[in-house]
Amino acid sequence: MTDAAHPEIRHVGAVTIVALGPEYDSLDGEILDSVRELLLAAVDAADPPRLVVDLSHTKFMGSSFIQVLFAAWEALKRKGQAKLALAGMTNYCEEVIQITHLNQVWPLFADSQLAVKALSPKK
């Protein structure tokens, strides 16, 4: 079960999924430090460096969370052949990503299953 201290981290094939639960409905303020630590730990463990961040329960994100995503992305890229995708975004969060043109950096998917399919190595 996902809780504020331990969001769900799972592996589907060669892809790591970090699913932020209902406790992460607003990604700002004090919670960002734990989200940063969580994402960076997931990046460190991701082998290969393919990460999906499932934001299905997140209703608000601000510029500070975008900085957290960039920190994770930079750490992922240092591992080589990095892929990062965002999944399950609410309309507001998707709009934030699109207005900032970050959907050109990280692809957006309706759910984590579609993101995993897109990030999985082709056979």
Domain of residue 62: give its range.
Answer: 14-118
Number of domain units in the chain: 1
Give domain status of residue 6, yes or no.
Answer: no
Residue-wise pLDDT for 66-107, tens only, equals: 999 999 999 999 999 999 999 999 999 999 999 999 999 999
pLDDT, residue 28, reads: 84
Give domain status of residue 23, yes or no.
Answer: yes
Q: Is the pLDDT of residue 46 over 60?
A: yes
Taking the CA of residue 107 as centre, how many other CA atoms within 13 Å lie in the half-sphere pointing to its CB? 16
Residue-wise pLDDT for 95-106, tens only, equals: 999 999 999 999
CATH of the domain at 31: 3.30.750.24
Region of 81 (left: φ > 0; alpha: ψ -120 to 50; beta: rest) is: left
Model confidence band, residue 6 (pLDDT cutoffs 50, 70, 90): low
